[in-house]
Structure 1
Amino acid sequence: MTDTVSFGYQDVAPEEKTRRVGEVFANVAASYDRMNDAMSGGLHRIWKDVFVKRVKPRTGETILDMAGGTGDIAFRMEPSGAAITVADINPAMLEVGMQRAAARGIDGLVWTEANAETLQFPDRFFDAYTIAFGIRNVTDIPKALREAHRVLRRGGRFFCLEFSTTLWPGFDTIYDRYSHHLVPKLGKWIADDEESYRYLVESIRRFPDMATFESMIGDAGFVQTRVEPMLGGLVAIHSGWKI
């Protein structure tokens, strides 16, 4: 790992990024889902529905939903009958998720505080690993990918939903203007937190493009890697298998 990593458009020490990201998500936890609706016009719900359909959770499987604090992905997978562990490094996000689960009468999920880079689970423990809009906030992404590979059984599958770089001509310019100028203002209006949402936008811009991230997944040991772009690559579903 390099001496510095990106925190938005800044380069900081790894431990500084971990601390700052923790502060960001502690600040936005209570308004996170409302802001997702506002920022994406509700499209994040469709992206997550498609994502879970690709994962195809099944009864009897064990699934780790990493960075899943507020429960959005776990709630979608829960009706399948899979045994789902929701893990997040941020206790504030987990608290929001547990409150939402209680309100929905969902009591079959396991909630645990965990760092994606140093998972406490044994080798070959899960059938599937999911992470949605969380990998770009990890300090050491290659290390987290290797951990995902480690905790999966042979034949296990990795699925990641993350923002990327749209390839549609002209749309990238429109989206840049929207995200850099309007999203922080929405953060101020809805969550009274402009700077946290400025970071979230900047973190998207610093995340590797689809081809580069697919290569990183392969470097972690996964095979049959695949990328499914949505909105021209503004959002992408990445997947791979452990053999």
Structure 2
Amino acid sequence: MSETVSFGYEEVSPDEKEGRVGAVFSSVARKYDVMNDAMSAGMHRLWKDKFVRRVKPREGEQILDMAGGTGDIAFRMAAQGASITVSDINQDMLDVGIERAMERGIDGLVWSRQNAEVLSFGDRFFDAYTIAFGIRNVTHIDKALAEAHRVLKFGGRFFCLEFSTTEWPGFKEVYDAYSHHLVPKIGQAIAGDAESYRYLIESIRRFPPMPEFEKMIRAAGFKHTKVEPIMGGLVAIHSGWKV
């Protein structure tokens, strides 16, 4: 039987998923950050601030920010003096990030279109690898994790910020109702695209639970893995080291 992968609640071929995910992000690129504010009541900014504090970017480090699209994480890390390569498979997302960097007067970032599963960078090049709200959209997560491990130096660190499943009693039901019923409507009102946001919510539901994803990170070769739930696991910071 031919391989299938999840696209939201559907099962599709890997090629079809890559194409459809690309279409989703091309559609929402211009309104992506506005929608993040609307969907999370601005809390995504706090989550990203905490994420970067955990990464601890330092001057002189080379850091790869994968699925970095519009630059939110890269801008925060560049402010700490690190050299950041922003990579994304979607050129429309990168174009928005480049425009935002120019508007803010942020120089020195490297922008590179990359597939997380097949990076063009050499072995042991980066001091840290970050990916925020992007890995659940990768077709083969295990391949992306293996590539992250490959391009990190020994002693390099991996950090992933991703949605998960909250374990707070009562809150899960409220969030499920909000995300399934209201988020597509917000997407239609702000971005003119309900279906893309329906997929993005469904992709959260299909993403592995925190313990399972941690096992995947370990299987890729990372050591000293850790999971830090936020809001009971609605969002989680995953980390590991290449040793």
Output aligned runs, 1:68-147, within 5 Å. 68-147=68-147
TM-score (norm 1): 0.99
**2:14 corresponds to 1:5:** no
**RMSD, aligned α-carbons:** 0.6
Query: Are 2:189 and 1:189 aligned?
Result: yes
Q: Quick one: distance in 1 between partners of 2:169 and 2:11?
A: 29
- Report deviation, 1:225: 0.2
1:205, CA displacement in angstroms?
A: 0.2
Deviation at 1:81, TM superposition (A): 1.1
Q: Which residue identity is paired with 1:33? A: D
Residue identity matched to 2:91: P
Question: C-alpha offsets along residues 81-138 of structure 1, whole Å, 9 cap, x if unaligned?
Answer: 1110000000000000000000000111000100000000000000000000000000
One-letter amino acid matched to 1:147: E
**Matched residues in 1 for 2:157 and 2:166: separation?**
25
Cα separation, 2, equivalents of 1:177 and 1:167:
15
Counterpart position of 1:45: 45
Trace 1:197-236 onto structure 2 (pairs within 5 A): 197-236=197-236
Distance 2:160 2:230 in 1: 13
Q: Distance in 1 between matches of 2:17 and 2:68?
A: 19
Partner Cα separation in structure 2 for residue 138 and residue 58 of structure 1: 28
* Cα distance in 2 for residues equivalent to 1:80 and 1:43: 22
3-state DSSP class of the match of 1:236?
A: strand
Supply the distance in 2 between the matched residues of 1:40 and 1:20 (Cα, whole angstroms): 24
| Structure-to-structure mapping, 1:5-44, within 5 angstroms | 5-44=5-44
Deviations 1:167-200 (A, max 9, x none): 1111111000000000000000000000000000
2: CA distance between counterparts of 1:202 and 1:102? 34
Secondary structure of the 1:143 match is helix
2:164 aligned partner, one-letter code: S
Match of 1:163 in 2: 163
SS in structure 2 of the partner of residue 165 of structure 1: coil
Is 1:66 the counterpart of 2:66? The answer is yes
Cα distance in 1, alignment partners of residues 206 and 69 from structure 2 = 23
Output the CA distance in 2 between the equivalents of 1:82 and 1:191: 33
Runs of 4+ in 1 over 3 A off after TM superposition: none
> Identity over aligned residues, as a percent?
72
- In the TM superposition, residue 79 of structure 1 has moved relative to its aligned partner by 1.3
Partner of 2:63, secondary structure, is: strand
What's the CA shift string for 1:194-221, capped at 9, x where partnerless? 0000000000000000000000000000
In the alignment, structure 1 segments of 5+ residues that lack a partner are: none
Structure 2 residue runs of 5 or longer lacking an equivalent are none
Aligned letter for 1:172?
K
> 2:79 & 2:90 partners in 1: Cα distance?
25
Question: What's the TM-score, normalizing by structure 2?
Answer: 0.99
How much has 1:33 moved relative to structure 2? 0.2
**Counterpart-to-counterpart distance in 2, 1:238 and 1:11:** 26
